[in-house]
Amino acid sequence: MTFDSPTPAAAAPGQGAPRRASAAFMLAHPAHAIALGFGSGLSPIAPGTVGTLWGWMSFSVLKPWLNAWQMGALIAGGALVGWWACTTAARNLRVADPGAIVWDEIVAFWLVLWLAMPMGLTGQIVAFALFRFFDAAKPGPVGWADSLFKGFGWRGGWGILFDDFVAGFCTLLVIALWRFLA
């Protein structure tokens, strides 16, 4: 069983069969490139996990160059641009929440790392594992968030992002409890 199943959740009404994400699809529109995590969402195995790894790597590269406020602005801007990109890519793939769209994992994991830092490599690995658990298994509030905004258009585009933000906040809650009890 894979947690990042590429099986379409629902096809767009009246638009024909779902399209498959590919490099050609990604390069056809800037929103596609962003939503597909600049290619990380094209992984044939666990695209959400690969997208989260891309988010971790890119955060590590950007962190020395940005102060806390700039990183926060990047995350906020990334969420807004991601809303547009995820909405556009899902519509063009004709699938409400395609597995190849991984911008939601990227920007949500940036948020986790930004708010949980400073922490060493072990802490970052724990944050990664917790985030992937919450995002893939969707327990409690994450499952609720995942079911809240479904479909196409701006509402569905926000829904793609929203459950990952809730998974991020659940991750941050566990990290805060871990730090409090340690």
- The single residue listed with the structure tokens 């990952």 is 164
Name the band, by pLDDT with cuts 50, 70 and 90, for residue 56. very high
Predicted pLDDT of residue 152:
87
Torsion angle of C-alpha atoms 102, 105, 110, 111, degrees rounded to 10:
140
DSSP labels, the chain: --SS----S-BPTTS-SPPPP-HHHHHT-HHHHHHTGGGGGG-SS-HHHHHHHHHHHHHHHHGGGS-HHHHHHHHHHHHHHHHHHHHHHHHHHTBSS-TT--HHHHHHHHHHHHHH-S--HHHHHHHHHHHHHHHHH--THHHHHHHHS-SSHHHHHHHHHHHHHHHHHHHHHHHHHHHHH-
Residue 95's DSSP bridge partners are 11
Task: Report yes or no: 41 and 55 within 8 Å, Cβ to Cβ.
Answer: no
| pLDDT tens-place string over residues 74-112 | 999 999 999 999 999 999 999 999 999 999 999 999 999
Q: Which of 8-12, 20-24, 101-105, 173-177 has the lowest mean pLDDT?
A: 8-12
Q: How confident is the model at residue 150 (pLDDT cuts 50, 70, 90)?
A: confident
Give the model's confidence band at 1: pLDDT under 50 very low, under 70 low, under 90 confident, else very high.
very low
For 53-57, what is the mean pLDDT? 98
